[in-house]
Structure 1
Amino acid sequence: MKNSFLCLAILFTITAHAQETTFAEKLGYPKGKKILIIHVDDVGMSYESNQGAIRAIREGVANSLSVMMPCGWVPGFVNYWKQNKDLDAGLHLTLTSEWKDYRWGPLAGKSNVKGLVDSQGALWSSVSEVVKNASPDEVEMEIRAQLDRARTMGLEPTHLDSHMGTLFATPEFLQRYLKVGMQEKIPVMFPGGHNTVVQQQEKVIGDQLAMTRIVGKQLWDAGLPVLDDLENSSYGWKGPKNGDKSEKALQKYKTGKYINAIKNIKPGLTMVIMHCTIHTEVFPHISDSYPTREGDFLAMIDPELKKYIEKEGIILTTWREAMERRGKVK
């Protein structure tokens, strides 16, 4: 009997969580619908990244992007954005510089954030090195310097997110990231809802899951929209097993992966992350990740993916719209 009551209690808890009102519903989106922000990272890193993101939005189903402010092709994107301010453009807060032959440094100045720079004067190559060497104060200083550059260039970001997840690496870094977003009234990428996909991909359980919901409520109470979930597995989709890297093969492979991923997403507001580049002879000299990035771009412009999204009645939105909706909710 005792075990029976325990089973019923567990079932009740699971059912209660399943019936919770999603943040999407709180924002006024229809109940039971999948609401997606299809988001392109790494804009400003290179010419190819800029063109991949812009074309993925203009010609495909992507609808949001974020910019790496320390990188060399930021002016190229911002100049385009000034003529196309309908683009949903946030900041891809950047605390690492991971490529061997193509690197960038902090915007706060080396002398002000010594813990963020390596022997070359560039940002560290890995998240673990940032964690080992940088202080929370330095992290916040660099976040604010990147926001300041954006605003100096005339770009008011629609949201903030984190390159390579560095700002999620420690509770102290996360606190500074959330602090800046709440103080500046800028939405931040943080999955604070049911986190169904996050639980599967990141193995988030127990206290960690409870923490995400506490933070989600904190962000909501601060007047910001909150994600119900996050789909962040696309970077690991390297290409067909047979090694075929032709455009046709990459597109078919990646489109299939996105359709399967979207099938697994539960109703609510979910951000789907990707990295889009167009093909050039130069980008492979920056990174060997070009097949997955080109595949992302090709998937975004694939009519089959658009057809699937429309057939399933999936609603696409942006961080700008989510913030506008949040402002109307008491």
Structure 2
Amino acid sequence: MDRRQFCLRTVGVLAAMPLGAGSGLAQRRQAGDSIKLIVRADDIGSCHAANVACMRSFRDGTARSVEVQVCCPWFYEAAQMLRAEPGYDVGVHLTLTSEWANYKWGPITQAPSLVDAAGHFFATNRDFLAAKWDVHEVEKELRAQIELARKHIPQVTHLSSHMGTPTITPQLRTLAQKLAAEYKLPIETPGAQGFRWPADNNATAEQREAALVKALEELKPGLWILVEHPGLDTDEMRAIGHEGYWNVAAHRDGVTRSFTSEKVKAIIEKRSIQLVSYGDTWPRG
């Protein structure tokens, strides 16, 4: 799967799941008729604009869980911001790829089998799979990412997979599950069913907001997870992109506007949708 296919597949995923553990929030609907929603903001740490947008999506909006990329250049600013907001639930967004054309990162360990000739992670899953990667180097790198996140961010509750790479083969999936069990941090959302937020990368901010309101109006009882990538329409983010996806700033700014939208918050209130986090739903063992 290349980067464009991955982005198109994952934009606005609402994954339906069986009800998990209760969040302790006030029950505003009868048992068995409740709607619980995790709004997840991905890629904090990737750049300054993403950091600001992900924090805004929590402080002024609906996000309750955020995924941090430990190996990215803006990780330490993200960690500082997250320590100041201990109520913001954090996942370690395990990263083995560096997808952008003009902006790169690499491992935080010595891992020669995981990098290209310039020392960066491979850009695509296809390139990663074609390389002769060493599973021991993968394990060392993922452990280092988990441990650095936990060192600097007290509220880490779970793991997730950037671009799906850390779980893309049965061997890697087994490794990720082993690390999840060892660190007592659930990974992803096992058994989830997908439900798309019906707005693609080229939708305007207004179209994206309207599509999310409509999706929330139709949401059925159960536990749901909405995954997207907040950003801002800034010079920094306008310079980020890759083939097939150069409107990153406009797209992700629209995500932030939807996550903080008064219309979105109003429909959540009207329908008594409970905003919950990973930590609420799958407490650490």
TM range (shorter): 0.7 to 0.9
2-structure distance, mates of 1:38, 1:154: 20
Q: Is the 8 A contact 1:97 1:123 kept in 2?
A: yes
Q: What's 2:59 paired with?
A: 58
Q: Is the 8 A contact 1:239 1:253 kept in 2?
A: no
Q: Is the 8 A contact 2:22 2:281 kept in 1?
A: no
From 295, 298, 302, the equivalent of 2:257 is: 298
Segments of structure 1 that go 5 or more residues without pairing to the other structure are: 1-20, 199-230, 241-249
Higher normalized contact order (CA 8 Å, seq sep 6+, divided by chain length): 2
Supply the RMSD in Å over aligned alpha carbons: 2.3
1-structure distance, mates of 2:281, 2:37: 11
Matched, 1:23 2:24: no
2-structure distance, mates of 1:46, 1:78: 12
1-structure distance, mates of 2:179, 2:42: 20
Q: What's 2:12 paired with?
A: none
Identity of counterpart residues, as a percentage? 29
- Superposed displacement of residue 33, structure 1: 2.2
Q: CA 1:306–1:148 in 2, change beyond 3 Å: closer, same or farther?
A: same
1-structure distance, mates of 2:187, 2:155: 14
2-structure distance, mates of 1:160, 1:320: 11
Deviates most, 50-59 or 163-172: 163-172
Please report the TM-score for the alignment, with normalisation by the length of structure 1. 0.72
- Superposed displacement of residue 291, structure 1: 1.7
Structure-to-structure mapping, 1:181-200, within 5 angstroms: 181-193=180-192, 195=193, 198=194
- 2:156 partner SS: coil
- Superposed displacement of residue 259, structure 1: 2.7
Q: What's 1:77 paired with?
A: 78
- 1:273 partner SS: strand
Structure-to-structure mapping, 1:311-322, within 5 angstroms: 311-322=270-281
Q: Is the 8 A contact 2:21 2:280 kept in 1?
A: no
Q: What do the CA deviations read for 1:22-73 (whole angstroms, capped 9, x no partner)?
A: 3336778842322111000000001100000000111111111010001111
Q: What's 1:116 paired with?
A: 114
Please report the TM-score for the alignment, with normalisation by the length of structure 2. 0.82
From 224, 238, 248, the equivalent of 2:201 is: 238
**AA matched with 1:24:** G
Matched, 1:272 2:226: yes
Q: Is the 8 A contact 1:81 1:87 kept in 2?
A: yes
Higher helix share: 1
Structure-to-structure mapping, 1:137-216, within 5 angstroms: 137-193=136-192, 195=193, 198=194
2-structure distance, mates of 1:137, 1:35: 38
Q: Is the 8 A contact 1:60 1:301 kept in 2?
A: yes
Q: CA 1:33–1:251 in 2, change beyond 3 Å: closer, same or farther?
A: same
Q: What do the CA deviations read for 1:180-225 (whole angstroms, capped 9, x no partner)?
A: 11111012112325x2xx2xxxxxxxxxxxxxxxxxxxxxxxxxxx
Q: CA 1:121–1:264 in 2, change beyond 3 Å: closer, same or farther?
A: farther
Segments of structure 2 that go 5 or more residues without pairing to the other structure are: 1-16
Q: What's 1:47 paired with?
A: 48
1-structure distance, mates of 2:145, 2:61: 29
2-structure distance, mates of 1:239, 1:95: 27
Greater radius of gyration (CA): 1
- Superposed displacement of residue 311, structure 1: 1.4
- 1:23 partner SS: coil
**AA matched with 1:48:** A
From 123, 126, 129, the equivalent of 1:125 is: 123
1-structure distance, mates of 2:94, 2:80: 20
Q: What do the CA deviations read for 1:160-192 (whole angstroms, capped 9, x no partner)?
A: 101111133212111111111111101211232
- Superposed displacement of residue 267, structure 1: 3.0
2-structure distance, mates of 1:26, 1:59: 24
2-structure distance, mates of 1:159, 1:176: 15
Number of matched residues?
258
Q: What do the CA deviations read for 1:289-321 (whole angstroms, capped 9, x no partner)?
A: 122111100111110011111112211101121
**AA matched with 2:136:** D
2-structure distance, mates of 1:262, 1:94: 30
Q: What's 2:4 paired with?
A: none
Q: Is the 8 A contact 1:39 1:62 kept in 2?
A: yes
